[in-house]
Structure 1
Amino acid sequence: MKKLIPLLLMLLASTQLFSQENLLQNAYSRDGSTLNGRWNYILDPYESGFYNYRREPHDQSENPGAGAYFLNSKPKDETDRVEYDFDVAPTLVVPGDWNSQKENLLYYEGTLWYKKSFDIPDFDAKKRYYLHFGAVNYFADVYVNGKKLGTHRGGFTPFNFEMTELLKAKDNFVIVRVDNKRAADEVPTVSTDWWNYGGITRGVTIYELSQTFIEDYNLQLDTKNPSLLTGSLQLNGPAKADTRVEISIPGLKIKKSVTTDAEGFATIEIPAKKLVRWTTTNPKRYAVTLSTDSDEISDTIGFRNIATKGSDILLNKDKIFLKGISIHEENVMRGGRAYSMEDARVLLGWAKELGCNFVRLAHYPHNENMVRLADELGLLVWEEIPVYWTIDWENSKTYNRAETQLKEVIARDKNRASVIIWSMANETPQSDARLKFLTDLANTTKSLDSTRLITAALEDHPSEGNKDKMVIEDKFAEVVDIVSFNQYYGWYGGAIENLKNIRWEIDIDKPVIISEFGAAALQGNHGNKTEMWTEENQEYLYEETLPTLAKIPQLSGMTPWILTDFRSPRRMHDVYQNGYNRKGLISETGDKKKAFYTLQDFYDGFGNEP
């Protein structure tokens, strides 16, 4: 059902009533007109383009005046004063973060305005036009031709707005106010261990759609019957009721028709006895087309089951050990936020070279290119939202922001076979409020998607009276499907040589994933294996940690920290860090450290494939 969520309940002279639109499913595969490229920008640290001198938002004024940047005002004559001009302003490349493009913006956190002019060459008043953003970090106010479309918050999930009524064939412009300031009640909160890249960090596209179109769909292998495909679809538009929709899967010789109800919704059940299931060694995918008289959309979908049984993870009922690595969304050699399919191929190519069948995309939803390519390569994926460290657990607005980001990434990636885990949080301190917050997220996730597993990166600690015995004492472990935890024995406390004496006692019959372990090393810095910051020290920690972790009875996988060095303002040692977290197995120049090969050898001889 089409549900519009009001963001502002006021009628503005400069804008229509605007709403957050439902996300277009599989916009990735639709034909669209890109707005990627160079956009003019204006730096606005005092936010004078958004507020007047009384600190009142221009876009809530009946007469905003020329000082409102979203109007893109021009002087009427030589006596008219306008104190900005996008057309003579410098440019930034979109998609891309501003920090890595302009040296003076490296640490900038605040407001920056983007502007792009565009035409619609074959403009058709009978069509509907949507403006889609892959991601903007963190707040985005979006205006087209001086009218506000809406607002989005959250730096790593897609959003879109309909702009049909505002367009013309030529001389359109879109203006986006972006604000990446951190705040205590946001998700993530003020303290993270990654770079706060600001800007329009993923692609911007215009989609031309029919009056009634296929807005949403999902298609999965049934959890109980491996010869049945189940799902649903949703139409948007005036002709959504009693509409015939055809589902075609040529690779299975399937053509199935369903008819929508009064709300444009239909369930799907399709027998598929000859279906080849998607696995890590044979990532079989099928072309799937959904069509009506007025719309058609195609996807490429793999079908598989993921489940747990006791302490085992089962892919299509076969036990699998998840040989993984954690990844941040950075292009280490170019610098800055990763955004392209080429970036994804570099990162996931390294993961495959390492011997991985699994990746953890930390600590926020990554670009859709990553999960699309993982589908193709046969890599299983852990996705998570940035509920990280200390969140404002008792703030209902903060919870809603976390839940919204969770819903948006599930909506985007629910048809991706590679995605098997939704993670609720990372390294969060225990409290009753936190337990309720995370449990509510988990319940929401299960209500939206019961076909995948739930986890969170928890923390371990020594048992009382025995410093060599490590335990997990977290009530949220009772909620999740997989018990995952980060452990840094030998780096944040403890001696590497004592790792052989450490044991983990986990009194719960669930699969265990070690979601993080590691040590930092500056690539090319060599020395004694006990000397901090050397490749030998990092290698030594891996050599001692891997066999120790392998003794955990419930161990079903691991994602060591981390594939590549990544930028972090918390890491400021001028010799060894220089603004980078150095726990990567690959440096920011793309050079592999010694520990890369240690983990590669371990994966080569450990675990199994279905």
Structure 2
Amino acid sequence: MIFKKIFVTFLVLCAVTAFAQENLIVNTQNRKQVSLNGTWHYIIDPYETGFYDYRYKEKGEKDAEAYWNNPEPHGKTDRKEHGYNNDYSIQVPGDWNSQDDVFKYYEGTVWYQREFDKPKLDENERIFLYFGAVNYEAHVYLNGKKLGMHKGGFTPFNFEISPGMLKDKGNFLVVKVDNKRYADEVPTLNTDWWNYGGITRDVKLIITPQNFIQQYAIHLKQSQDIEKSLKRKRFNISGYFKLNTTAAEEKITIEIPEIGFKENVDIRDSEGSFDLEAKKLELWSPENPKLYKVMFTLGEHTLTDKIGFRKVEVSGKDVLLNGKEIFMRGISIHEEIAPEIRRAKNSADADKLFGWAKDLNVNMVRLAHYPHNEYMTRAADSLGLLVWSEIPVYWTIDFKNDEVLEKAKKQLDEMIIRDQNKASVIIWSVGNETPVSEARTKFMKSLVMHAKEKDDTRLISAALEVGYNRGRNYIDDPLGEYTDIVSVNEYLGWYGDLPHAKVKSKWETAYDKPLFFSETGAGAKGGFHADKETRWSEEFQEWYFEETLKMMENMPENFTGLSPWILVDFRSPKRNNPKYQEGWNRKGLIDDKGNKKKAFFTLKKYYEKKEEEYKKR
């Protein structure tokens, strides 16, 4: 009986996962829409009184004291024990932790509520409610009816609103948001970043035709010889379309007006793939982040996007972009605006973070440790920044739990579906610093294979750990057999010994693949100065990077780049030195006030040198 219950739960989870990925709408910024950003009301509910009755059973849909129902009393005898009003207001998008001191350390349930009027709809138009992300678990209700739920704090989701659910005025929208941590979730209980709760990204109504292009991919065909294509100035582009409604037969017209490209693709039973030839394409690269206006027309409706075309691949020990060897001058970034102690949430925040990154002279960013806001990947496309995008399979995930694996795959799917048309994204990462065991390797291999099946146009990796042996560091994590590049987090000189130990450190890998340092770094309190051997001083961090970069000059031939940890100091409840940390991870090259530390300029100088080296090749 117990086995049957577990098996049924697993099947339901798989069905929900498939439903979520199949129904996700992409390219929402270029569709007809109504923003629901702005001021919402809230109720803090640590006991989840609005969700469970006093016997701790989920309340019935029509229960007057369920917090998804409008609590307005009908008369003076009515008993109402909850309510929404302007005295308890919160801004969306945004984390709740930064908006009021009462939320600073709060983990639990908060109910969000707002009203909206029915938008003007043409005949046969459909309407969807779209969330960029809610951390972590969301239950969504409209006018007392449940639309659905979603787990995963960093990926988008949407629900269709049936016409009969909408009123002309005052539609009552409620979202139960719960950011509690659990051992069987992704991420799990233990992380080294702040668990910002809330509706952290845009909320909007998406208005569509009755049948519309829900998902698509368009890219250079991976199997073509890029050198021959460049000489011929003819390129194979391929991809697929998925419509929202099953149709016997449809045609989609693809146009790239700038190069005079126009082709039709046949769609049968809601899906269709294509393999076409385009002439005179300029390829996207950090030096030339060329984006084309691409138009997709189904019937009388046209959807536009800005698409870059490029090919990334591994050739022996090198990573090639458009057939040329690249060195990834990277930096890791958290989705956080440190001077304001909050989650990044809009295009201005993306510009700020990437402005700092460009000042460092990077050509690559590692967006850690979860999929960042779509504003980030769209900005990276325009700026010519290569992107590593990652799901939060972090540290002590329950690797023996099949349900946890399905949750990880769901987040992987949602990340890939949303950003598979971003030329900037060249690496999908399936996790960070997962401890080696047979169960872990099986779990992580499954994610690697799943990512390769979903998208063969990008490299797949994971940030591995490395053991330190004086004078020799041998990387043989069994997961490296399956990833396209071997990526490791390296902290010799900070977690063990002092920075001078780096210069004699020798690196080898068991795999004939490109080697990438996904992290390296040391902590420093901005503005604290001392001699270089004093921990937490800017001089110590500067010394650490000087020795690290000396070590990098003596790396093996397969060394292909690094993304040091990290661009900016970020909040972490694990970092509790009362003098130097105060709840901040201080490994940033920029401090929490926005000031550049001395090590910033050390790394920048190295990156300028590497850029000149590769220009001469």
**TM-score per shorter chain, which class?**
over 0.9
Structure 1 distance, partners of 2:357, 2:423, is 18
Letter in 2 for 1:167: L
Match in the other structure for 2:24? 23
The 3 A distance-change label for structure 1 pair 295 and 587 is same
Report if the CA contact (8 A) 2:333-2:367 is conserved: yes
Structure 2 distance, partners of 1:538, 1:31, is 49
Deviation at 1:559, TM superposition (A): 0.2
1:586 and 2:590 matched = yes
Letter in 2 for 1:591: N
1:434 and 2:440 matched = yes
Match in the other structure for 1:43? 44
TM-score where L is the length of structure 1: 0.94
The 3 A distance-change label for structure 1 pair 19 and 331 is closer
Structure 2 distance, partners of 1:48, 1:587, is 41
Report if the CA contact (8 A) 2:136-2:179 is conserved: yes
1:371 and 2:377 matched = yes
Gaps of 5+ in 1: 11-17
Match in the other structure for 2:458? 452
Match in the other structure for 1:493? 496
Report if the CA contact (8 A) 1:20-1:152 is conserved: no
Structure 1 distance, partners of 2:500, 2:13, is 56
1:546 and 2:549 matched = yes
1:229 and 2:237 matched = yes
Match in the other structure for 2:271? 265
Which residue of 513, 524, 541 corresponds with 2:516? 513
Which residue of 250, 256, 272 corresponds with 1:243? 250
Match in the other structure for 2:484? 481
Deviation at 1:462, TM superposition (A): 2.9
Match in the other structure for 2:104? 106
CA deviation profile, 1:522-551 (whole Å, cap 9, x unmatched): 110000000000000000000011120231
Which residue of 552, 561, 579 corresponds with 1:575? 579
Match in the other structure for 1:560? 564
CA deviation profile, 1:241-276 (whole Å, cap 9, x unmatched): 311211111011011112211x12111222113111
Match in the other structure for 2:536? 533
Report if the CA contact (8 A) 1:235-1:265 is conserved: yes
CA deviation profile, 1:472-492 (whole Å, cap 9, x unmatched): 121101110000000101100
The 3 A distance-change label for structure 1 pair 162 and 20 is farther
Structure 1 distance, partners of 2:71, 2:14, is 24
Structure 2 distance, partners of 1:285, 1:582, is 37
Deviation at 1:39, TM superposition (A): 0.3
Structure 2 distance, partners of 1:407, 1:146, is 30
Percent of paired sites with the same residue? 49
Local SS of the residue matching 1:454: strand
CA deviation profile, 1:175-234 (whole Å, cap 9, x unmatched): 000000000010000000000000000000101111111111110101122411111111
CA deviation profile, 1:300-356 (whole Å, cap 9, x unmatched): 000000001111000011000000000000012222000110100111111111010
Report if the CA contact (8 A) 2:14-2:406 is conserved: no
Deviation at 1:8, TM superposition (A): 12
Local SS of the residue matching 1:219: strand
Report if the CA contact (8 A) 1:214-1:296 is conserved: no
Structure 2 distance, partners of 1:497, 1:445, is 39
Matches within 5 A, 1:105-124: 105-124=103-122
CA deviation profile, 1:407-437 (whole Å, cap 9, x unmatched): 0000000000000001111111011110010
Match in the other structure for 1:197? 196
Match in the other structure for 2:173? 174
Structure 1 distance, partners of 2:68, 2:122, is 25
Report if the CA contact (8 A) 2:312-2:319 is conserved: yes
CA deviation profile, 1:276-308 (whole Å, cap 9, x unmatched): 110110011110010112432110000000001
Report if the CA contact (8 A) 2:589-2:599 is conserved: yes
CA deviation profile, 1:358-417 (whole Å, cap 9, x unmatched): 000000000001110100011000000000001000011111111100000000000000
Deviation at 1:27, TM superposition (A): 1.1
User: How many residue pairs get matched?
Assistant: 591
Q: Which stretch of the first structure deviates more once superposed, 280-289 or 500-509?
A: 500-509
Report if the CA contact (8 A) 1:20-1:150 is conserved: no
Letter in 2 for 1:327: I
Structure 2 distance, partners of 1:581, 1:561, is 10
The 3 A distance-change label for structure 1 pair 92 and 39 is same
Structure 1 distance, partners of 2:599, 2:85, is 50
Match in the other structure for 1:164? 162
Deviation at 1:73, TM superposition (A): 2.8
Matches within 5 A, 1:102-501: 102-124=100-122, 126-165=124-163, 166-225=165-224, 226=229, 227-237=235-245, 240-261=247-268, 263-463=269-469, 467-501=470-504
Deviation at 1:574, TM superposition (A): 1.5
* Larger helix share, 1 or 2: 2
Deviation at 1:9, TM superposition (A): 10
Local SS of the residue matching 2:279: coil
Local SS of the residue matching 1:569: coil
Q: Which stretch of the first structure deviates more once superposed, 485-494 or 267-276?
A: 267-276
The 3 A distance-change label for structure 1 pair 88 and 323 is closer
